[in-house]
Amino acid sequence: MRWPARIVASGRRMATDRVYRHARNDAARRHTLQPAAWWGLCGILSTYQLHHGAIRPMADLWAELLPFLRIADEYLAVRAVEEYLVYLDNPGLADKQWLGLVIHEALAAIDTYDPSIADLLDNPSAVFESRWMALLSYQTLLRLRRAVQTYDGRFPHPARHAYWHGALSVA
């Protein structure tokens, strides 16, 4: 990386860390159901979207963050989201191989039901609109397709809230 690019990357990382800490601390004070770290990641992505003139529903943000929410190491999750934002801005500058491996590992068991994720995914098929889909291996893509079938309203799970079941059809 050349000298000016380092300065830009350093400034971007400091801004991302500031947004993450603010959103994480705010969520910790509010005692949310989701981990505070998840709200920090959501803060990073939503700030990025706002700076690029896009306002997206919260359900779409959670769907786009899905692989990053499943990373157990908080520091690694933040760095992966940062790299994903670089990928969104300029795919040629991003370390796509590293990002793809991190996402692949995060989605290794996505097709098993996880109630903490289920509460966030109002529209599970929205994950297919995420640009990280291009980084998936074929096996991970198949696993993700199984997960969407598990989490969507076609196969209601007893742990899901009533709104997951969709409108009742009258015969």
Contact status, residue 12 vs residue 52, Cβ threshold 8 Å: no
Q: What is the pLDDT of the chain when averaged over all its residues?
A: 77
2 vs 78 pLDDT, higher one = 78
**Within 10 A of 151 (CB to CB), how many other CB atoms are there?**
26
pTM of the model: 0.75
The pLDDT value recorded for residue 11 is: 53
Max avg pLDDT among 40-44, 78-82, 146-150, 158-162: 78-82
DSSP 97: H
User: Can you give the residue ranges of every domain in the chain?
Assistant: 3-158
Angle at CA 108, nearest 5°, toward 106 and 112?
110
Q: Average pLDDT for residues 91-100, to the nearest whole number? A: 90
pLDDT band at 25 (very low <50, low <70, confident <90, very high): confident
100 vs 11 pLDDT, higher one = 100
In this predicted model, what pLDDT tens digit does every residue of 49-69 receive, in sequence order?
Answer: 888 888 778 888 888 999 999
pLDDT band at 12 (very low <50, low <70, confident <90, very high): low
Contact status, residue 117 vs residue 69, Cβ threshold 8 Å: yes
163 vs 9 pLDDT, higher one = 9
118 vs 12 pLDDT, higher one = 118
The rounded distance, in Å, linking the Cα atoms of 148 and 133 is: 13
